[in-house]
Amino acid sequence: MLASDTSPPATPSRPKALWRRWLIWVPLLLLCLAAGGWLGLKYSTTGRQAALASGYIAQVTCSCRFVSERDMASCDTDREPGTEIVQVEEDSANRTITAKVPLLSRRISRFDPEYGCTLVAP
């Protein structure tokens, strides 16, 4: 007759199971914190100021570039202090200026010879 094995069945080691949980929950927690931080900035006073600044810079730069027919380097001197974070891109073919604050706001101003520069709805 064979002797039966009385040892309990093998279970995964506790530290290894705990490590697997950490690999799942830590990135998920970091993603939630990052999303919460971004939403907090976007919909706070900072986000509204970013939208205002990008719209203002788009409009001023469009008027400078297409109405006054100055070059972009000259138009950079028209910017107000504190708007250095706003990035400006020109599309000469469509006669538009895009001003954006990274991750927070983006506004486009389009030039029409009859109406001048107008902000495009976001």
Establish if 21 belongs to a structural domain: no
| Average confidence score pLDDT of the chain | 85
Establish if 82 belongs to a structural domain: yes
Establish if 112 belongs to a structural domain: yes
Return the higher-pLDDT residue of 81 and 122. 81
Return the higher-pLDDT residue of 47 and 62. 62
- Domain hosting 52: range is 45-120
Establish if 62 belongs to a structural domain: yes
Establish if 103 belongs to a structural domain: yes
Establish if 38 belongs to a structural domain: no
Indicate the number of domains in the chain. 1
DSSP3 helix / strand / coil % (the chain, rounded to 5): 50, 20, 30
Read off the pLDDT of each residue in 27-56 and give the average, rounded to a whole number. Answer: 86
Residue matched to tokens 């538009």: 96
Residues with Cβ within 8 Å of residue 107, at least 6 apart in sequence: 51, 54, 55, 58, 98, 99, 100, 119, 120, 122
Checking if the pLDDT of 54 tops 80, the result is: yes
Establish if 17 belongs to a structural domain: no
List pLDDT tens digits, range 74-85. 998 988 888 899
Nearest residue to 104 (alpha-carbon basis) of 30, 45, 32: 45
Q: Is the pTM of this model over 0.75?
A: no
Establish if 96 belongs to a structural domain: yes
